[in-house]
Amino acid sequence: MDWQALALTLKLATVTTAILLAVAVPLAAWLVLGRGRWLAAVEALAALPLVLPPTVLGFFLLVLLGPRTAFGRGITALLGHPLAFSFSGLVVGSVIYSFPFAVQPLVAGFAAVEPGIVDAARMLGASQFRVLTTMLIPLARRSLIAAAVLSFLHTMGEFGVVLMLGGDIPGATRTLSIVLYNQVENFDYAAANRTAAILLASSAIALAAIYLGGRPRGGRRA
């Protein structure tokens, strides 16, 4: 069993989920509270990673982050190393790949909060930040949990982007899904079954922990 790959995958999913929530919560609040038609364009843009096949997205990132684009050269100069074939590169890829899975539930959840009370709070002088932290987030807690869970799981099972951008380096970019794929391709089905079981079990445990943390005392409807 490749524990190194499991640790790496959990780390990637955790880092990605943390970054996604930090970015997606303010963005979703802005999309819901903001005015202006062009917000629809931003929302559409945020959903676009769903359209591209993951391997194609990975290929675009490989080219974009590589030394043949000004952007890639800038990043390389900034970090001192190219992003492709590194853990940070996988984080960038995962954040883009799972972006819609964080934004969509949050937008739906924030939009479902009774508009009357949000307007009342604003009329009484509450800032956008206060509306977000004291009303939207507590009232849309289930959506926040859903966004975290979906981002986490989507990254745990992420394959296409990692395959294209990772270069299969043990300890840096060899995630559990790559190990699993390698075992299947090498006809090592027994090992593949074990890896799949670990992937499923660790995801189930992580999920249970998240749901437990988000469950109000006395049940969901309390």
Partner 1 sequence: MLLIGGGKHRMPNSIPKRFLISLCGLACLASLGAQAPLRVAAAADLEPVLPPIFARFQQATGIHAEATFQASAVLTTQIQNGAPFDLFLSADTGYPKRLIDAGLADAAGTADSSTPILYARGTLVLWARKDSRLTPSLDLLRSPDLKRLAVANPERAPYGRAAVAALTSLKLYEALKPKLVTAENISQTAQFVDSGNADAGLISLTSALTPRLSASGAYFVIPRELYPPIEQGAVIVSSTKQRARAHKLLEYLLSAPVQLQLAKSGLTPVH
Residue 176: what residue type?
L
Of 9 and 173, CB closest to partner 1: 173
Taking CA atoms, 86 is separated from 63, 67, 165, 166, 181, in Å, by 14, 14, 8, 7, 19
* Phi-psi map region of 115: left, alpha, beta (phi>0 left; psi -120 to 50 alpha): alpha
Provide the minimum distance between the beta carbon of 184 and partner 1 in the complex, in angstroms, as a whole number.
7
Nearer to partner 1, 163 or 199 (CB): 163
> Closest separation between CB of residue 182 and partner 1, Å?
7
**What is the spatial distance between Cα 5 and Cα 11, in angstroms, rounded to a whole number?**
10
Between 49 and 72, CB nearer to partner 1: 72
Nearest to 163 by CA among 50, 69, 48, 84: 84
- Nearest to residue 23, comparing CAs of 113, 151, 115? 151
Cβ proximity to partner 1, 30 vs 59, nearer residue? 59
Q: At which residue do the structure tokens 């799981």 appear?
A: 153
Q: How far apart are CA 222 and CA 209, in angstroms?
A: 20
Least Å from the CB of residue 95 to partner 1: 19
Q: Which is nearer to partner 1, 137 or 163 (CB)?
A: 163
Judged by beta carbon, residue 118 or residue 164, the one nearer partner 1 is: 164
Helix (H) or strand (E) holding 60: helix 54-65
Closest Cα partner for 148 from 23, 21, 27, 26?
21
CA distance 9 to 80: 24
Q: How far is the CB of 96 from partner 1 (least distance, A)?
A: 17
Q: Which residues bind partner 1 (CB under 8 A)?
A: 59, 62-63, 65-68, 72, 82, 84-85, 163-164, 167-169, 182, 184-187
